[in-house]
Copies of this chain bind each other. A is one copy, B any other.
């Protein structure tokens, strides 16, 4: 489904086209996914699961809090081919289902959850500068991460991997006590 979306956009991501791409019979795929909606919800859950699993793996090990936070944030921005594809597919899904949230069991945006946990983690460990507004720091980091994702997706030549990392580090330094 991802491949089809990247090639033809959401409009082209029909059960028929996906069956063809996967080398399955239309009947076989329809047995599990009667229409595009079921496929979309399943595929969105898969993106989330994939990212969550990657983050869990990367958080194991002996890291300083700052390394931990950087690892997690760098797992959700498009700094490699795999994450570029996830980001592109996720935004395509979100744009496609945005008027149908009441109707479809769309998963929560995992990026928001990760950002919330990140800020609370820094707060709990006493690493945030005094006087910050936690709620606003979550909103700000959430916008920052997805803004970076969109820019890296649309213009990877301007916003290189190196610059993505530099920007996130700069932001973390601006909200954290020194030395982190």
Contact = CB atoms under 8 A, between A and B. Distances in A.
Nearest to A146: B147
Count of identical protomers in the assembly = 2
Interface string A145-156: 111101101110
A11 B13 CA distance: 13
A65 interface: no
Interface residues of A, number: 30
Given A154-B94, A154-B98, A163 B139 contact: yes
Interface centre among A95, A139, A151 (most CB of B within 10 A): A139
28 contacts: A9-B10, A11-B11, A91-B150, A95-B154, A98-B153, A98-B155, A133-B170, A136-B167, A136-B170, A139-B159, A139-B163, A139-B167, A140-B144, A140-B167, A140-B170, A140-B171, A142-B147, A143-B143, A143-B144, A143-B145, A143-B148, A143-B167, A144-B144, A146-B150, A146-B151, A147-B148, A147-B150, A174-B174
